[in-house]
Amino acid sequence: MKHMKASILQENLNNALKSVSGFVPSNPQLPILQNIYLKFTKGKAIFSATDLSIGIYKETRAKVDEEGEICVPFKNLSALVNQLPAGKVDISVKDNILSIKSEKISAEFNGVQANEFPVVVIGEKKGRVERKIIQEIAEEVAFSAASDEARVVLTGILIEKTDFGQRIVATDGFRLSIKQIKGEKLKFDEERVIIPARFFIDIARIIPEGAELFLELDKNKKSITASWEDTTISSQLIEGEFPNFEQIIPQSHTTRVLIDKEELGRLVRTASIFARESANIIRLKIENNELHISANSPQVGKNTSSMLVEEEGDDQKIAFNHRFLLDLLKGVDGKNLAFEVSGPLKPGVFRVSGKDDYLHIIMPVRVQD
């Protein structure tokens, strides 16, 4: 369709563009992916963006006089709409030119034909899942997935069936998060599936409070969709062999300490000031029911802070990347953390006190005494 005429409220247009903004790639594989797909039809406006691995389909209300579709550069369109005054915005398309008019501003954008834009899969609303479950996966597990794609499988989250429900796992090779979801709160027919961590992060980022969420896994298309109200997010599944994470989970420990999470966060953030110039390394020493955290940098200086803990077992020394500790503290709820360790080069195990459904492991950093 080459001709289109419609109107939409600036607020609705702006909110829709904000929803899809995270799905427009900054370095697209194809030039057209820096565009957004727009379609006006049957009383609604449709917005779509994708980087080919994950995409979004978003609807909002509009008054449509003549139906049509077009693709236009997202960055410039979004910047303009953000500056428009509240109220009605008239939109029209003719010969692949998108015209926008508000009360005092008018603009035109060169577009391209919509049929060149990749289709984003729209899921059927079946397989209801509590929003809270996705939020917990995004906050407690997804941060442990790799951010670079040197090993694509590590950018994903493994979901596998257990006797008690589903086990959710992510690791980047330096840390590991495992969450157990009991019963049928999250149900897939497949024994094991690897889903991009970004899929859960994106859902948690934009899904509104109280929305009814549905997940649909399509093994034939090797994709998964999340749908609620007027939005669908679609992602390709990740193929490959997830690493054998169970072999690094310690079966015992020689030291266990109970730590106040908020105070630990304050000490780690303080040490991070001095650790940034020294490979982000901070040192932990457990001794006489106290946890001492220190960091030093030739360029900045040095710092030592202490807090009281409940200690069981041997005194210990160990070093970690402070960013990994801060990610954990930001992601999990609860007042206290249990920290288990058996030596300076053994994995550090963190649990949320009073909960048996979550485990986090951070690999230590080798340092000179």
Written as six digits, the tokens of 329 are 């503290």
Task: Measure the CA–CA gap between 33 and 73, rounded to whole angstroms.
Answer: 9
- Whether residue 1 is predicted with pLDDT greater than 50 in this model: the reply is no
Domain limits, the chain: 3-116, 128-245, 250-362
Residue 190 pLDDT level (bands cut at 50, 70, 90) = confident
SS3 182: strand
Residue 187 pLDDT level (bands cut at 50, 70, 90) = confident
pLDDT of residue 191: 85
- Residue 331's Cβ-side half-sphere holds a number of Cα atoms within 13 Å equal to 25
CA dihedral 294, 296, 300, 305 (to 10 degrees): 10
Proportion of the chain above pLDDT 70, given as a percent: 98
Q: Give 361: exposed, middle or buried? Use CB within 10 Å, 0-12, 13-18, 19+.
A: buried
- Whether residue 153 is predicted with pLDDT greater than 70 in this model: the reply is yes
Q: What is the CA radius of gyration of the chain?
A: 25
pLDDT of residue 218: 84
Interval 281-322: pLDDT, tens: 999 999 999 999 999 988 889 999 999 999 999 999 999 999
Proportion of the chain above pLDDT 90, given as a percent: 83
Task: Measure the CA–CA gap between 279 and 272, rounded to whole angstroms.
Answer: 10
pLDDT of residue 189: 75
Question: What mean pLDDT value characterizes the chain?
Answer: 93
In sign, the C-alpha dihedral spanning 121, 127, 129, 131 is positive
Interval 217-251: pLDDT, tens: 887 778 999 999 999 999 999 999 999 999 999 99
CA dihedral 196, 197, 203, 204 (to 10 degrees): 170
pTM score of the predicted model: 0.92
List helix spans (H) across the chain: 10-20, 74-83, 131-140, 197-206, 261-275, 322-331
SS3 230: coil
Interval 263-274: pLDDT, tens: 999 999 999 999
The arrangement of secondary structure in 128-245, i.e. its CATH architecture, is Roll (3.10)
- Whether residue 170 is predicted with pLDDT greater than 80 in this model: the reply is yes
Q: 3-116: which CATH topology?
A: DNA Polymerase III; Chain A, domain 2 (3.10.150)
Residues 6+ apart with CB under 8 A from 209: 131
pLDDT of residue 2: 56
Interval 112-142: pLDDT, tens: 999 989 888 776 666 889 999 999 999 999 9
List helix spans (H) across 187-260: 197-206
Per the rule left: phi > 0, alpha: psi between -120 and 50, beta: everything else, 364 is beta
pLDDT of residue 123: 63
The arrangement of secondary structure in 250-362, i.e. its CATH architecture, is Roll (3.10)
Written as six digits, the tokens of 242 are 């997830």
pLDDT of residue 176: 98
